[in-house]
A = this chain, B = another copy of it.
Amino acid sequence: MSKVRVHISTSLDGYVAGPNQTMEEPLGEGGEGLHDWVVPLKAWREASGMEGGEENVSSDVVREEYANVGAEIMGRGKFGPAPRGPWGDDPWKGWWGDDPPFRKPVFVLTHHEREPLTISDTTFTFVTDGIEAALERAREAAGEKDVFIGGGADIINQFLAAGLVDELELHVAPIILGGGARLFAGVGPDLKLELLRVVEAPGVTHLKYRVAKE
């Protein structure tokens, strides 16, 4: 059965990006520290089209995260920098250059209509009618595979609050960001979770939860 999954790196104080996100620091001040654990890994580098890298106990966690994903949903803040608003005549084409690492259908939530954009093996489809519509399209595109909610915090929080997520994995980095984009903002006690697995790894702790359904 196809699942809706969230896997996200978070600081110990619950931020998935630091304060003051800019073009130069898309993850905000200190936000790169969220990914210090994953960037050296072969599993991550392979998926990002890079050579080399190491193996450690996080490798299997990352490979499991990437496996069996048939479509991704992301917010406009993950797709591109502020300011938002209409796309304009020479619209932003994503952070990822001419070979985006997704290689699957990506649905970008936005308030502004735009034609689909195909770059190499990835097609970005822009969805203006909300998270449920985006999920419906992503599920259809994913078929038997899972749908990955790629972030940022705002989109993940909307999906969690709406009860639309099946599995949630937090990669908890041992850092304090002190501000930024906060996971779980606006998500209330109706979200019931059950721990599936804990993995202690170099520079990170992986906590995987199942969302309990009625």
- A residues near B, CB below 8 A? 12-14, 18, 29-30, 170, 172, 174-178, 183-184, 187-195, 197-198, 200, 203, 205, 207, 209
CA distance A209 to B203 in the complex (A): 11
Residues in B neighbouring A200, C-beta threshold 8 A = 195, 197-198
CB distance from A167 to the nearest CB of B (A): 13
Whether the Cβ atoms of B184 and A12 lie closer than 8 Å is yes
Collect the chain B residues with CB atoms within 8 Å of residue A183's CB.
13
In the complex, A200 Cα to B184 Cα: how many Å? 22
**Can you name 26 A-B residue pairings with CB atoms under 8 Å?**
A12-B184, A12-B209, A13-B14, A13-B183, A14-B184, A18-B189, A29-B189, A30-B189, A174-B194, A174-B195, A174-B209, A175-B189, A175-B192, A175-B193, A176-B184, A176-B187, A176-B188, A176-B189, A176-B190, A176-B193, A177-B189, A178-B187, A178-B189, A195-B205, A197-B200, A198-B200
This chain's copy number in the assembly: 2
Q: Which of A184, A189, A194, A209 has the most CB atoms of chain B within a 10 A radius of its CB?
A: A189
> In the complex, A170→B207 CA distance in Å?
13
Partner of A12 from B188, B193, B198 at Cβ < 8 Å? B193
